[in-house]
Structure 1
Amino acid sequence: MNLASTLLLALAMSTDAFAAAIGKGASLHKPRLREALRTGLIFGVIEAITPVIGWAFGLAASQYVARFDHWIAFCLLAVLGVRMIQAGLTAPKQEAEDKPQRHSFAVLAVTAFATSIDAMAVGVGLAFIDVDILPTAAAIGVATMLMVTVGVMLGRVLGNIVGRRAEIMGGVILIGIGGLILFEHLTAPAVTG
């Protein structure tokens, strides 16, 4: 995977967390930058760890599926992309309620883990195409931290509309990356030996 693909993947992986962060920001009473940074850090660390876990699982299985690994990566990314698009199109609007000053660590960690399940699945797919996982996971973590921090701050103003659109865009990017992986494999010269 080249630098552009890594950056696009990091952006795509962070969009569902961005959407969640907008919801978290909208549910808080005037969140401050400190709370946004705290939320971003929690999401970023969890989002960086989960693809490494998925990659480790995928690496253990990669020797058994080497002949069709590119199809697995494509299918995983495409399914995740479609799921993100569907979630963005069907997300319910948040109802008005009493707004706290901040969310507990447990609430943020559970939300971050829920939004990072797709990153774990992407990690599995990345193991099949022999990607250096540490820089990729770091890029995903940093992008998520930045996007979540911005999302919390935007959430107090913009609400759920932007969050849903960001998730749809992330899904489209994931499908595009899956297509690029498949295209690169199918157009690469055959190695004989």
Structure 2
Amino acid sequence: MTTAKFITFLLLGIGLSFDSFAVSVSCGLMKREIKFKQATLVAASLAFFQAGFPVIGWLIGEALKNLIASVDHWIAFGLLALIGGKMIVEGIKEDGTLKNFDPFKISVLIGLSIATSIDALVVGLSFGFLEIPILFPVLVIGSVTFIAAMLGMLFGKNISAKRSHQSLIIGGIILIAIGLKILAEHLFMQAT
């Protein structure tokens, strides 16, 4: 392993972890009383999917690369918009319904993890096509994502907000913005 390859994989891990960091900030905004065990669960889920999707992509190979690349941005946008929209709706309700939305609920956590990891699937496909060994990049991507997610939740829970329903609205807007960013990047790339 050369230094240049290590730096490349590290930068790739950092780039792929931005969405996970933003999702973690949203989780910290919504659950200010987050415990270390909960934060570890969220970070581990995000890191697991972020590291696992390149392996899946690598195994799928070049045959399906174009098919997945043509819809990955729509899948990510749809998942993030759905979860973000639900957060905004819950945040608008002022009658104690905030307790109904739980970012630590397994189905929500898995949805967030998948939505933020779809780009990593395409990266794995390109690794498979280029015959790049997958183990080291996956370890770097997973480690960087775990650290970024833990820092994101710490940052999110320390942002002051007057009321928790306002935090839900902010978190929902952040998730929808991430989805729009993914969509815009891919649509812009297709146009050029």
TM-score bracket for the superposition, by shorter chain length: 0.5 to 0.7
* TM-score of the superposed pair, with normalisation by structure 2: 0.62
Counterpart-to-counterpart distance in 1, 2:13 and 2:114: 16
| Amino acid across the alignment from 1:31 | I
Instruction: Find the counterpart in structure 2 of residue 151 from structure 1.
Output: 152
Instruction: Find the counterpart in structure 1 of residue 53 from structure 2.
Output: 50
Matched, 1:131 2:97: no
Question: What are the equivalent positions in structure 2 for 1:15-30 lying under 5 Å apart?
Answer: 15-30=18-33
Give the 3 Å change call, closer, same or farther, for CA 30–101 of structure 1 in structure 2. Answer: farther
Counterpart-to-counterpart distance in 1, 2:102 and 2:34: 7
| Amino acid across the alignment from 1:107 | V
| Amino acid across the alignment from 2:124 | G
- Specify every segment of 5 or more residues in structure 2 that has no aligned partner in the other structure, as ranges: 160-166, 187-192
Percent of aligned pairs with the same amino acid: 25
- Offset of 1:61 from its aligned partner? 6.7
Contact 1:41 1:145 (C-alpha < 8 Å) held by counterparts: yes
Counterpart-to-counterpart distance in 1, 2:36 and 2:102: 12
Query: CA-to-partner distance for each residue in 1:125-156, whole Å, 9 max, x for gaps?
Result: 22222221111112111111111111112111
Contact 1:22 1:154 (C-alpha < 8 Å) held by counterparts: yes
| Amino acid across the alignment from 2:144 | A
Instruction: Find the counterpart in structure 2 of residue 187 from structure 1.
Output: none
* TM-score of the superposed pair, with normalisation by structure 1: 0.62
Counterpart-to-counterpart distance in 2, 1:18 and 1:6: 18
| Amino acid across the alignment from 1:54 | G
Instruction: Find the counterpart in structure 1 of residue 109 from structure 2.
Output: 108
| Amino acid across the alignment from 2:139 | A
Counterpart-to-counterpart distance in 2, 1:119 and 1:58: 13
Contact 2:27 2:103 (C-alpha < 8 Å) held by counterparts: no
Instruction: Find the counterpart in structure 2 of residue 66 from structure 1.
Output: none
Instruction: Find the counterpart in structure 1 of residue 163 from structure 2.
Output: none
